[in-house]
């Protein structure tokens, strides 16, 4: 589904990714692990083609999605036509709007209104807390509820493939498990997921495969259980 090959990315004159390669197959849940500053968010932003000034600049390599070169494609088409959704770091939901308004905004480019209605039902059954708070202003939601909303919003955008940037950030262990259980449920229903995480414990518990990133390079790639059993990983990332 997603194929990244020898990707080099710069901010200004500074190279942040030094030739990474990875892939995510349809139906998989894959984790990208690594410490602060490793280049995880940069990888996601490169896939989404976000506009400047945030945009990392790709100087070499290839990103293909279902065989199509994503690099010349603008973000709105990556979302609307290629059905890739991003749950960004820090969530970036609209605080002055309600839960329902935030979800509605995500559907603006969709025309399949019957499916949209079914998707609302699905989001509210996956996240009952959101259902109870449909008309609540989002800046009054808890951090965990905002994370649920950000995930629901990617789903309401009609995504078939969702990229998540540190979904566990700021969540209690209980909410974290709850969120990953929902992600697993979505994945079992056919959603492909690529999850960036610093929390290797939770990511390796739920993902099929994982990549480990250090200083702009992929240094390890394996199925999740092998990585979790790796002494080096245990020492550095699993405490
Ligand atoms: N807009 C930017 N301009 C310049 N350098 C940047 C920019 N964004 C990120 N970087 C640098 O690129 C490197 C990778 O950053 P990135 O945000 O991808 O890391 P990360 O793995 O997501 O880290 P974290 O876990 O802290 O979110 C870092 O050295 C960072 O300082
Ligand atoms: Mg990051």
Q: Which of 7, 17, 41 to mutate to test the pocket of ligand 1 (most atoms within 8 A of CB)?
A: 41
**Structural domain span for residue 13:** 2-237
The predicted model gives 201-226 an average pLDDT of 95
Whether residue 13 has its Cβ less than 6 Å from ligand 1: no
Closest residue (by CA) to atom 28 of ligand 1? 37
In this prediction, residue 205 carries a pLDDT of: 95
- Give the residue carrying structure tokens 């690529």: 194
Q: Which ligand is nearest to the CA of 16?
A: 1
pTM of the model: 0.93
In this predicted model, what pLDDT tens digit does every residue of 39-49 receive, in sequence order?
Answer: 999 999 999 97
Q: Is residue 126 within 6 Å of ligand 1 at its C-beta?
A: no
At 225, the pLDDT band (50, 70, 90 cuts) reads very high
CA distance 59 to 8: 6
Contact 10, 201 (CB under 8 A): no
Label residue 55 by pLDDT band (50, 70, 90).
confident
Q: What is the pLDDT of residue 56?
A: 86
When the pLDDT of each residue in the chain is averaged and rounded to a whole number, the result is: 92
Q: What is the pLDDT of residues 160-206, one digit of tens each?
A: 999 999 998 888 888 889 899 999 999 998 999 999 999 999 999 99
Which of 8, 9, 16 for mutating ligand 1's site (highest number of atoms within 8 Å of CB)? 16
* Percent of the chain residues topping a pLDDT of 90: 72
d(CA 173, CA 229): 22
CATH (domain of 152):
3.40.50.300
Q: Cα–Cα distance between 211 and 23 in angstroms, integer?
A: 10
Domain count, the chain: 1
Phi-psi region of 19 (alpha: psi -120 to 50; beta: other; left: phi over 0): left
Q: Does any ligand 1 atom lie closer than 6 A to the CB of residue 38?
A: yes
Residue 28 to residue 223: CA distance in whole angstroms: 11
pLDDT digit string, tens, across residues 94-143: 999 999 999 999 998 888 889 999 999 999 999 999 999 999 999 999 88
**pLDDT confidence of residue 8:** 97
Does residue 51 have a pLDDT over 70?
no
What's the N-to-C CA distance of the chain in angstroms? 33
C-alpha closest to that of 88 among 33, 156, 169: 169
Q: Which atom belonging to ligand 1 lies closest to the Cα atom of 53?
A: 1
């Amino acid at each position: 589904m997603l194929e990244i090959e020898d990707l080099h990315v710069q901010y200004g004159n500074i190279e942040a990714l030094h030739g990474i390669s990875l892939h995510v197959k349809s139906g998989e849940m894959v984790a990208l692990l690594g410490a602060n500053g490793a280049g995880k968010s940069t990888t996601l932003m490169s896939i989404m083609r976000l506009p400047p000034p945030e945009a990392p600049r790709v100087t070499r390599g290839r990103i293909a999605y279902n065989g199509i070169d994503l690099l010349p494609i603008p973000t709105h088409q990556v979302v609307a036509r290629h059905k890739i959704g991003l749950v960004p770091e820090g969530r970036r939901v609209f605080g002055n709007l309600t839960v329902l308004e935030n979800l509605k905004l995500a559907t603006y480019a969709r025309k399949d209104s019957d499916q949209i209605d079914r998707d609302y039902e699905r989001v509210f059954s996956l996240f009952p807390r959101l259902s109870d708070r449909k008309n609540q202003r989002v800046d009054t939601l808890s951090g965990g509820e905002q994370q649920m909303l950000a995930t629901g919003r990617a789903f309401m955008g009609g995504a078939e493939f969702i990229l998540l940037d540190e979904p566990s950030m700021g969540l209690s262990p209980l909410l974290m498990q709850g969120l990953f259980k929902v992600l697993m449920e979505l994945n079992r229903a056919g959603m492909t997921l690529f999850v960036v995480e610093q929390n290797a414990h939770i990511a390796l518990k739920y993902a099929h495969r994982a990549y480990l990133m250090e200083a702009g390079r992929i240094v390890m790639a394996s199925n999740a259980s092998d990585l979790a059993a790796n002494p080096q990983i245990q020492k550095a990332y699993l405490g």
